[in-house]
Structure 1
Amino acid sequence: MSSSEPTSDQVSRVDRLGPAEIAEVLTLAGTAGDADGADPLDEHVLLRLRDAQAPAAHLVARSDDGTLTGYAHLDTTDPGAGVGVELVVHPAYRRRGTGRALARGVLATATGPLRAWAHGDHPSAAAIAVDLGFRRARVLWQLRRPLTAPLTDPRLPDRVTLRAFRPGADDEAWLALNARAFADHPEQGRWTLDDLRVRLAEPWFDPAGFLLAVDSTTGRLLGFHWTKVHERPGSARIGEVYVLGVDPSAHGGGLGRALTTAGLAYLRDRRGLDRVMLYVDESNTGAVALYERLGFARWSAHVNYQLG
């Protein structure tokens, strides 16, 4: 990707991918993720690939024999906030200008500000970003922890109990809590009912692993820990602190720590896992400190570059 040599690959724009093309993109992403140790396309993009109605543009790079050598996804849902970009090049076709050709195709296709993720902070992505005038705007850390290490018992505040999420019954109340807990977050705090329900329909969804903290006197939701298990053929299973949030009115009472340890215990004891990961913004120093006190360590960085 970092080579300045012109590529012989042909880059074209596609407004809608067919099933065969989606399968090609997913295979390409899986191959790149295995090689780099970080998946090149995030969950949001993978979900949108399966939604034919989702506003998006696709750039595909193919070699002379038709092999898919690279792909870029342009999320045009909210042009005012900027076009979201994710880009991947097949490991066997790197250092021949394909990534740069895709990036230039993005610049020629998109209008308005651009927001591009480099998962794993790959040096080639950083080189392209600098050359094309993007600035490094945000860093998302992936932290990991062994579940074989000791866990402290969850200590819930007085009059707070834990129960499992009830699909259909808790949807609206959870969305309202999520919006309060992530009011300043650029993605999580803007989830809609559709965003929630598409994830509840995913094969990995496990309601027993979606823990809600409830005020036992009023029934009001105060916090949650939504866990996830990643299972991919050929890879070891790993748990995830998928989303963890606490109502601002319940801050300072230890609820975040209690929810974290309760979810980790669930992944270890009920799902039989020996390791867990999570994502946290580098700028969220309080959360980073909490997770490090709970035994998490930095594993990889995901960098958001912006232009305009």
Structure 2
Amino acid sequence: MSVVPRSEGAVLAAAVEALEAAAREDGVRPLSEEAELRLRHGGPDDGRDVLLHHADGPAGYARLDRDGDGWQAEFVVHPRFRRRGLGAALAAQLEELAGDDRLAVWAHGELPGSTELGTARGWTRARTLLQMRMPLAGVDPDPSPALPDDVVVRPFRPGVDEDAWLAVNAAAFAHHPEQGGMTRRDLELREAEEWFDPAGFLLAWRTGPDGETLLGSHWTKVHPPGEAADEAVGEVYVLGIAPQAQGLRLGRALTDLGLAHLRGRGLGEVLLYVEADNTAAVSLYEKSGFTRFSADVQWHREAVRA
């Protein structure tokens, strides 16, 4: 096992081989979108790429990044090398790299092996992120949501709307561990992805004598066949409303418009992610027709106190 600089091309090839094999085996991506973007494009300078070697080939990969006063990690063991203690070896390496700081490790899909590993190492379940899904067949294909007279909804304009969107996103998700910290680079990396479609990135603007003010947005995404299911699947990717626009029912309006866009793409299903302890949101989504599909679990090894 080695901690290697991101610049080594062998790291990328070996890591991609491991994560693609695991995705085929488990039916779930072993790394988050953010971790995969950092794998392909690099991340903060204090991050680490950990490659697990075996005589028969690359056996696993982990990504470790600073997270406030601690560290956050994700890792994958190639299916061919499981049940050999290699997951525990990767976990131990991550603990060593984190030193005495808190270590948070995401396990995607809540697979039995990850639960066994986390429990065996004395880690605690800290967060559960639910994936919920809903068929699009019953969605109104041409909604006419009631919007205030001075509010207009239009697609995102690349190269124009980035700063306004980032400001509203930061305010809307000020207490969210990941989403609220999105940077200009994070946004531009996603704009460069093949799945990015500005037509499905809907922004609600208030117009007035002094110009326009962004109030909220619904950014949709389409997962290609084979990624989230055999067929393409839509996603409520980011739905955020500026604090000053709460109470205008923009969330419902933007949701309806975004779902109609996804149905218009010919998709049969849509997914979204929500924190399991956000009971109000979970209940609202369930009443809207979403059902629980899977879960991602964040395990914590707390900081080591002297």
Fold shared per TM-score above 0.5: yes
Contact 1:257 1:290 in 2 (8 A): no
TM superposition shift of 1:181 = 0.7
Code of the aligned partner of 1:32: A
Q: Identity of aligned pairs, percent?
A: 48
Which piece of structure 1 moves more, 52-61 or 120-129?
Answer: 52-61
Equivalent in the alignment of 1:102? 90
Q: 2:248 aligns with which of 248, 253, 256?
A: 253
Tell me how large the CA RMSD over aligned residues is: 1.9
Report Cα offsets for 1:60-83 as digits up to 9, x if no partner: 222223x1121111113x4x4321
Change (3 A) 1:254 1:58: same
> 1:94-173 alignment to 2 at 5 Å?
94-111=82-99, 112-151=101-140, 153-159=143-149, 160-173=151-164
- Confirm whether residue 305 of structure 1 aligns to residue 299 of structure 2: yes
Equivalent in the alignment of 1:200? 191
Find the aligned partners of 2:138 and 2:85 in 1 and give their Cα distance. 45
Contact 1:154 1:257 in 2 (8 A): no
Q: 1:225 aligns with which of 209, 218, 223?
A: 218
Runs of 4+ in 1 over 6 A off after TM superposition: none
> 1:44-59 alignment to 2 at 5 Å?
44-52=34-42, 54-55=44-45, 56-59=47-50
Find the aligned partners of 1:98 and 1:165 in 2 and give their Cα distance. 44
Find the aligned partners of 1:249 and 1:290 in 2 and give their Cα distance. 22
- Confirm whether residue 25 of structure 1 aligns to residue 15 of structure 2: yes
TM superposition shift of 1:24 = 2.4
Equivalent in the alignment of 2:80? 92
Change (3 A) 1:226 1:192: same
Find the aligned partners of 1:180 and 1:286 in 2 and give their Cα distance. 20
Q: 2:231 aligns with which of 230, 236, 256?
A: 236
Q: 2:58 aligns with which of 56, 68, 78?
A: 68
Code of the aligned partner of 2:30: P
| Count of aligned positions | 294
Q: 2:69 aligns with which of 81, 86, 90?
A: 81
TM superposition shift of 1:279 = 0.8
SS of match in other structure, 2:41: coil
Change (3 A) 1:232 1:274: closer
Report Cα offsets for 1:179-229 as digits up to 9, x if no partner: 111111111111121221121122211111100112244521111000111
The TM-score with structure 1 as length reference comes to 0.89
Find the aligned partners of 1:306 and 1:114 in 2 and give their Cα distance. 6
Find the aligned partners of 2:186 and 2:202 in 1 and give their Cα distance. 18
Find the aligned partners of 2:194 and 2:171 in 1 and give their Cα distance. 28
Change (3 A) 1:290 1:209: same
For structure 1, the residue ranges without an aligned partner over 5 or more in a row are: 1-10
